[in-house]
Chain A
Amino acid sequence: MGLAYKFDWSVLWREPYGEWMLQGIWLTLQLGFLAWIIAFFLGIFVGTMRASPWKLLRLVSTIYVEIFRNVPFLVQLFFWFYAGPMIFGKTLQFKINAISGLNYYAAVVGLGLYTASRVAEHVRAGFASIGQGQYQAALSTGMSQRQMYWHIMIPHALRLILPPLTTEFLTIFKNSSVAMTIGVAETTFMSYKIDSDTFHGLEATTGAMFVYLVLGMAVVKTMSYIEKKFRIHGLVGR
């Protein structure tokens, strides 16, 4: 049994497939960055709630984190895309379903909400590692609770948790590939589409793999620069 398969790598750049791949990469970048904006700010918010002294805030944020972490992202995405519009009732549902690019928005929001739960856990861990003295020192200088969080705790925690945040930022681009299941034409979707057009899915997916690899390396390089810049002096470096 020999290899009857004839490789055709030109499906990666030939008309129109090269353009498809580029469009896919562009959409992957969009999904990752937009979802990251949601995940970053919501994650800090929920994570700060997780560390708050008020029981109700802690409960609400814990429920948020547990739900979003313990349900597969694919299921969450399908829920937002298929069931989401139905929540608003019959009349609104049809209006929402008529929005063009609804799957794109569902993917951005879904990916953002999912990643926020993971960011929140890192933020909570960051707060836990700061130590009581810092709270007391901030409060004793006459800062209000809000000032203490905004000027002292959150910046400190963020600098501490930069390495795990890098990992999350990497993961968000990888997870954006799941958006293909609701028809968002990002990189993975495009490589599958090339397969259905040419039956050369192996070459197309191999090419897509290298796209993610290069993207990942770029993220690591950028983040290690940021990590160096925001390092807390006096702590053990990485």
Chain B
Amino acid sequence: MFDAIINNLSYLLKGFLINLELAICALAGGIFLGILVGLGRISKNVWLYHSVTLYVNFIRNIPLILVIFWFYFIMPILVGKPLNPFISAAISFVVFEATYFGEIFRAGFQSISRDLVSAAYSTGLTYTQTARHILVPIAIRRMLPSMITQSIITFQDTSLAYVIGLQELVRRTTIVDSMEVRSIQLYSFVAALFFVICFVGSRISRYYEMKSREANIL
């Protein structure tokens, strides 16, 4: 019944590993660039603010597939030789996800009221103490659920690297399916793999959301 999966299990799982690797690269780069984007979005420097806002609004209106293609086409022109699809995909993911993480960070930074800071100062806390004990913990607690959700979306999005021929899980599944013709079991298997990880992730996100709601800070 599961013959097509069992016969090709290691081949398929190696593809899934590529999805995970791509997601890790995308998250590491996306969160780092996202922090900078978030800071740019609350910056008082007009030029910085407007250029970062333009970048965010532009990218967020464009489908990820198109961004993947665009980098796939422009990289060989810039570098002078065809680029490995993994690196090309990773670059497009970082550029794309950074805009989404940037908006999460902006909301997190902006959600902290000035009154809270004044209250912390008035109890005699220094700036570092305020940041360390008040601002950072609250900002992180508020951002954590949406960051986890966005990470899940990023992980799901890695399947789209299929379009530039990256040998990730979905690409490998289509290859196996073209030989075995067992579409139902193969695609159910792929769906189940993604489902397990994303479902667990969404529960963790829900848990932190509840926890911060209990602490009455949302």
Contact = CB atoms under 8 A, between A and B. Distances in A.
Contact of A79 (B69, B163, B188): B188
B73 A71 contact: no
Main secondary structure of the interface of A (DSSP, over half): helix
A170 B57 CA distance: 13
Contacts of B159: 72, 74-75
A188 B199 CA distance: 30
Interface residues of A, number: 42
Nearest to A66: B199
A74 B170 CA distance: 8
Nearest to A87: B184
A159 interface: no
Nearest to A180: B65
A75 B190 contact: yes
A86 B174 CA distance: 16
Interface residues of B, number: 37
Contacts of B160: 72, 74, 178
A74 B162 CA distance: 9
B150 interface: no
Contacts of A181: 162-163
A4 interface: yes
Nearest to A202: B73
A180 B58 CA distance: 22
B62 A174 contact: yes
A177 B163 CA distance: 11
A195 B73 contact: yes
Interface string B193-211: 0110011001000000000
Given A4-B80, A72-B157, A205 B73 contact: yes
B66 to A, nearest CB: 5
A175 interface: yes
B194 to A, nearest CB: 5
B63 interface: yes
Interface of A: 1, 3-5, 66-67, 69-76, 78-79, 82-83, 86-87, 170, 174-178, 180-181, 188, 191-192, 195, 201-202, 205-206, 208-209, 212-213, 216-217
Interface of B: 58, 61-66, 69-70, 72-74, 77, 80, 152, 156-157, 159-160, 162-163, 170, 173-174, 177, 183-184, 186-188, 190-191, 194-195, 198-199, 202
